Structures are given as C-alpha cells and as structure tokens.
Structure 1
Amino acid sequence: MGLLQNGQWVDKWYPTEETGGKFTRSESSFRDWITQDGKPLDENSTGFKAESNRYHLYVSLACPWAHRTLIYLQLKGLQEIIGVTVVEPHMLTNGWEFSGSKQSPIAHHIEGADVDKLNAADFLYQIYQKADASYNGRVTVPVLWDMHTNTIVSNESAEIIRMFNSAFNHLVDNSCDFYPQTLRAEIDELNSWIYDSINNGVYKAGFATTQVAYNEAFEQLFTALDTLEKRLASQRFLTGDEFTEADIRLFTTLIRFDAVYVGHFKTNKQRIADYPHLFGYVKEIYQMDGVSQTVNFEHIKQHYYFSHEMINPTRIVPTGPDIDFNQPHGRTQINAQRVNLLQARF
C-alpha cells in the first residue's frame, strides 16, 4: 500500500503512529461528475457528458468499494457502454498492478486480472500520474476514466454509483432507481452510520496498531451488526421493502466478512453466518440477477491475506470457509409477514 507524493510513487503504509494506533482513511481526490447533459454541477467542477463507450472503470475484484460499482454496472445494464479493467489481487511494493507487468514482483498471474489495454500501464499509480503529474495521495480503486480527455473523473465509489444510478438512464433500457427521492434522507443517514461502524469499521479493527484502538473499533462494529440483525428481523431491506443503494453498500462488506475479516482483521466475535437475518439478507442479495458474478472469493482472499504482510507475514491464504450463498434465504417471508401485519391493522 503506497501513495504518490508530488507525482512520485512511495511505498508507505498508513501512519497509525500519528493517530494513536487508529486507522484513518484518506478522502478521495478526484470528485468530478458525469451528467446527462455534460454541464458541471457547480463552478468548481468540470462537466462530463454521459455517453456510450466514453468511460472506463478500473477496479479490483477484492476491494469492497470497487465492488459497489461492479454491482451497479450489472443491475443498471451498463456493461455494454462502460468498459472494465481488473487489477491483480496481490498489492505489493508498487501498489495495485495490472496483469502482464514486466516490472512486477508478483510470481504468478491470478485468473480474472487484466492487462491494461487502454493505457498500457503496468501499475495503477501510472493512471493517476497520467491524470495529474504532480498528484499527492493514495492510489485507490475504483477509478472512473474518461477516454475523451484522458483523465480521471472520479475515484470516489460513493459518487460513482450515484452517477451510474441516473446519469446514463437515457442510454440504457433500465430505469431502476436505487436512490429514490422519497428515501434519500434515510439512505444518507444509514450510509453514514454503516460506513463508520461497518464498511470502514472492519478496517479500523484490522489496521489498528494498539489494543485500545482495536477494542474501540471491535465494539462499535458488533454493536452495529447486532442493531442491523434486529432491524432485518422485521423488514426485508434496510429501508423496508425496497432494495436501495444502502443495501448494496452494506452487502460488499458483509459478503467478505466470514472469508476475510473474521480471521484476518480479528473481527471474530461472530460470523455473519451466525446472524440468521443478516445471513439470509446477504444470500438474497447474492442471488439477485448479476450480483453473484461480481463476487470473486479467490481475488478477495488472495488480496487481503497475501498483500497485508504486516498482518499476515507468512502470506498463507486460507482454503476456507466453505459457505453456500445459494442456499434458500427465506427473506420473501419477511415481506409477506409485513403485508399481513399491515392488513391486520386496517
């Protein structure tokens, strides 16, 4: 894990010694927007017009933040108009890298990673350098690239999925809305809490370098999971009966939890499989059309266990766990129970 300093690559871990052992995530740097008409959102941003075959997505199949964007491509039917390049799961001294790199320290190629045919880069940091030769900051996925202007539109997953939700609707026969106007306040509130406690919470536990910092993150994480288990006992999705952006953002953390976070990040109080309602919820989303093909457990496990040498110095990657996410999920019964309760009231 490294960063660019004045455009130069530096292999450097997060400076937790400056934060009392706590992991602090950096803000994303590229924050422009694609809109249907191409007009900028405000005077401080650049306008990018939603067009077919203009934009390209750089992702890791291991990364939960990038995973959000891949699910949106599937559910919104954007695969034919937005290209994708997948980096190798092993992230070593040069950060994220592409398959076929001649300078790579990686001993073997893992199926599912791509050569960068678009920009002929060996490493993702070179894409950042191409967009900004003096860039300062972490080199992260996802990256939404504009092929017309040869620059990065955004590297903030939360904003990329909002663009995918609406900006390209006139180009695809898919009007599903995962951020409906009537639920936006609730979705935003859920996102904020889930991000801090769960999405980023697993990292705050896993990357902590003091017992105090770890304990704090651990307790916050499992308090939040307990709360969600109770919430999902009486409703099918986070906001009720409607599947929204909040569910997608939560799912990409939960699907990795038992395979990686329980062991590697020491979040071992309970597995998601031990929460009946959370487990059923994860299985239902996994079984939605197009979602399961965005999940690659080989990339997920290879990335975390092999890349984080300071946590797992042997780089041994576990074979398990063996979890069948295609088992019956039972979540439609939750919806039926809610309907029956509502009918009984009137």
Structure 2
Amino acid sequence: MPQGRYVEDEFDRDTDYIEDRITEDGRDGWPVEPDRYRLVVSRACPWANRAIIVRRLLGLEDVLGMGVCGPTHDARSWTFDLDPDGRDPVLGIERLQEAFLARYPDYPKGITVPAVVDVPTGQVVTNDFPQITLDLSTQWTKWHREGAPDLYPDHLRAEIDEINEWVYTEVNNGVYRCGFAGRQASYERAYDRLFAALDRLEERLTQRRYLVGEQITEADVRLFTTLVRFDPVYHGHFKANRNKLSEMPALWGYARDLFQTPGFGDTIDFAHIKAHYYVVHSDINPTGVVPKGPDLSGWLTAHGREQLGGRPFGDGTPPPPPRPEETVPAGHTVTA
C-alpha cells in the first residue's frame, strides 16, 4: 500500500523518510564502503525500480548487494518470500520491518522500499528514495564501472531537478491521486491533472529523445518507472483511462526506446508489478483477481527514436547483461 493520508478525499503521500545519506565523506556517519550495505527492493515498486536501474547502469553490483522482496506484503512489511526459507540470505531477516526496528524500536512510519541497510548492524540507513539514486550517482563514483554514464551531470542538474520535481508531483504521484481518490470530484481533478501533464510530456518528447540533454539522465529513470506500469496497472486499476500509453505516440516511442536500452527493460517484472497492485490494494480490487492482459509484445517493436539524435549513454557504454541471480524470471517480462 502507498504510505499516505487523505486530505479532503485526495491522496497525499507521506514523504517523511529517514534522510540519512551514505556519502563519500561519511558526513552522516555512513561512509561509502564496498560490501557494507544492502539495497532492499521489490521489482513491483516504481520507486525501488529506480534504484535497481541506476545500480545496473552504474555497475555497482560488485559493491552494493541487492535483496529482492516479493511483490506483495501485509500491513506490517515487505517480506523476503522469494528467498529460501523466506529470509534474506545476507541480512538473515524475514521482513524488512526488522531492519527498521533494529534502528528505531518504536518506528511509527511506513516500511518502504527501496531501503538501504547496514549489513554489520542490520539497521536501516535510509529509505529516502529520491536521494538514494542521486547518491549512487554522485557519492559512489569511485566504484562505478568503467564506462558508467553520468546520470546527473553538473551542468544539467538544475534542469534535471526542475523536471524531476514536476514529474514527481504530476505524474509519478499523479497516478496514485487518481487511484486513491476518495470521491468522484477528487478523482476527476486528479485525472485531468495527470493527463494535462502527460500531454505536456508528449509535446516535449516529440522533438527530443530524452527529457534533459542528449543522453539518459536521472530524469528519464524517474519517468520511465511510471510509464512502464501505465498500461498494465494504472490505466485500469487506477482508472487513469483517458487513453493508454500505447496511444500517445511520443511517450510510447520514448518508453519503448528506454525499455529496449540495457539496464531498463531487463529490470522489469510485469508479473510482480501486476500482482502487487491488484493483490495488495484490496480496497480498490477486493477480489484480488489479477488481469491476464495486456499484450506486452509491443514493448519490443521498433520505436524510431534514433532519428532524434542523442546517445543513450553519452560518452559511456551500456552495462553488461544482468547477473543470472538478478535476471527477471522467464515469463515475467518481454524478451526477444
């Protein structure tokens, strides 16, 4: 479930996260160190999906381990039900909640992914999802793979930050305002606001390949994880149904371009995505029935975005294929 509250029947996301940062200088008491921390994610979650993608693109697999929770959870916490005996093999815990309580025994807020856990102590360090990916780009540079792209270039940061703030408010969170609206009027306001934003993005991406600059940046990662969930989940489950993503030419081409880029589509588990939303959100879908569709084969069709120029990784190179233990299971995604 999303962590939030209702203000005049409109969904308002709780953004009160643990704001400690893992930095090169260790200013918050958490210095960057290889093999010290574990990134805990669920492939179902769009916020966690960002961290999975950035970790892949930067090549941090050798220094930052990743624990993957299952697609569903109960009121207490995300669980490691994909692992043998239902425990994370490194942290030895059944629930992410245990890492939060290890640090804050009376932790009163939501247990969210992504979260970074300090392996020696078993304590959560941070679940501040917007900052986690920025710090992977800017604080872990010593451990980036050779050829890692610069996802947050100095000269573009102001524009990236502006786009990120707007996309978060209007699109990333906009779909949730539609899905969790408490009244008809609230839903219709959210619906109009979301599609006004998507129309604005459609116009922007008609003339340019990426959101900011000539290569993939943090801004593209943040938009992609919402777009890839749009037709499978948000269109039906959240009633964001003016049209499908596949009916918006520029956005659909842009999303396919990224999906077919190494590090993006190979992180997507459509089975987990659908199971999470349709099972966990029992107030919206009380039957728990998970839809069989939509047809996902279109994600691999030609997009033609190369004609707009740009280079996906700038002066960098694509990441290698995902490790076998981190590969999305066959049948859960779209493969050539």
1:95 offset after TM fit, Å? 3.2
CA deviation vs aligned residue, 1:70-125 (integer Å, no higher than 9, x gap): 001110001111111111112224332221xxxxxxxxx6x999631233322222
CA distance in 1, matches of 2:57, 2:258: 11
Using the alignment, how far apart are the partners of 1:68 and 1:303 within structure 2?
17
Q: Secondary structure at the match of 1:91?
A: coil
Give the number of the structure whose alpha-carbon radius of gyration is greater. 1
Q: Counterpart in 1 of 2:22? A: 34
Offset at residue 47 of structure 1 (A): 2.7
User: Given the alignment of the two structures, is residue 214 of structure 1 paired with residue 202 of structure 2, yes or no?
Assistant: no
Q: In 2 relative to 1, CA 68–114 (structure 1 residues): closer, same or farther, beyond 3 Å?
A: farther
Give, in angstroms, the shift of residue 180 of structure 1: 0.8
2:80 and 2:95 in contact (8 A); partners too? yes
In the other structure, the counterpart of 1:184 is 157
1:212 maps to amino acid: A
Question: Does 1:156 pair with 2:128?
Answer: yes
Measured in 2, the distance between the counterparts of 1:147 and 1:112 equals 19
Q: 1:163 to 1:114 in 2, by over 3 A?
A: farther
Q: Distance in 2 between matches of 1:296 and 1:114?
A: 20
1:334 maps onto 2:308 in alignment: yes
Conserved in 1, the CA contact under 8 Å of 2:191 and 2:240? yes
1:65·1:157 contact (CA, 8 Å) conserved in 2?
A: yes
In structure 2, how many angstroms separate the alpha carbons of the residues matched to 1:236 and 1:138? Answer: 37
Distance 2:177 2:129 in 1: 19
Q: Distance in 1 between matches of 2:172 and 2:184?
A: 20
Q: Which secondary structure state, in structure 2, belongs to the residue aligned with residue 279 of structure 1?
A: helix
Structure 2 counterpart of 1:95, one-letter code: S
**Aligned partners of 2:19 and 2:126 also within 8 Å:** yes
Instruction: Please name the residue that 1:265 is paired with.
Output: 238
**Per-residue displacement from partner, 1:153-201 (whole Å, max 9, x unpaired)?**
2101110001111222212334421111111111111111110110000
* TM-score, scaled to structure 1: 0.85
Pick closer, same or farther for the CA change 1:300–1:113 going to 2, 3 Å: farther
Q: Distance in 2 between matches of 1:168 and 1:15?
A: 35
User: Can you give the 5+ residue segments of structure 2 that lack an aligned partner in the other structure?
Assistant: 311-336
Matched, 1:23 2:5: no
Contact 1:128–1:139 (Cα < 8 Å) also in 2: yes
Offset, 1:223:
0.2
Structure 1, 146-155 or 282-291: larger mean CA deviation: 146-155
Opposite residue 288 of structure 1, the aligned amino acid is: T
Structure 2 letter corresponding to 1:132: Y
Q: Who is 2:296 aligned against? A: 323
For the residue of structure 2 that corresponds to 1:153, the secondary structure is: strand
Over the matched positions of the two proteins, sequence identity in percent amounts to 41
Give the Cα–Cα distance (whole angstroms) in 1 for the partners of residues 125 and 23 of structure 2.
11
Relative to structure 2, which stretch is displaced further, 220-229 or 144-153?
Answer: 144-153
Are the counterparts in 1 of residues 76 and 111 from structure 2 also a CA contact under 8 Å? no
Q: CA RMSD in A?
A: 2.0
Q: Closer, same or farther in 2 for the Cα pair 1:114/1:237, shift >3 Å?
A: farther
Q: Structure 2 residue aligned with 1:64, among 22, 32, 46?
A: 46
1:145 partner amino acid: V
Q: How many residues align?
A: 308
- Aligned residue in 2 for 1:133: 105
Residue 116 of structure 1 contacts residue 122 of structure 1 at CA under 8 Å; is this kept in 2?
yes
Cα separation, partners in 2 of 1:70 and 1:139, compared to 1, 3 Å: same
Q: 1:242 offset after TM fit, Å?
A: 2.2
SS of 1:135's partner is coil
User: Aligned AA for 2:301?
Assistant: Q
Matched residues in 2 for 1:113 and 1:261: separation? 33
SS in 1 for 2:167: helix
Deviations 1:199-244 (A, max 9, x none): 0000011011111211111111000000111111101111142211
Residue among 249, 256, 260 paired with 1:287:
260
| In structure 2, C-alpha distance between the alignment counterparts of 1:242 and 1:54, rounded to whole Å | 31
CA displacement 1:236-266 (0-9 Å, x = unmatched):
1111422110010000000000000000000
1-structure distance, mates of 2:139, 2:198: 33
User: For the Cα contact (< 8 Å) 1:90–1:307, is it kept in 2?
Assistant: yes
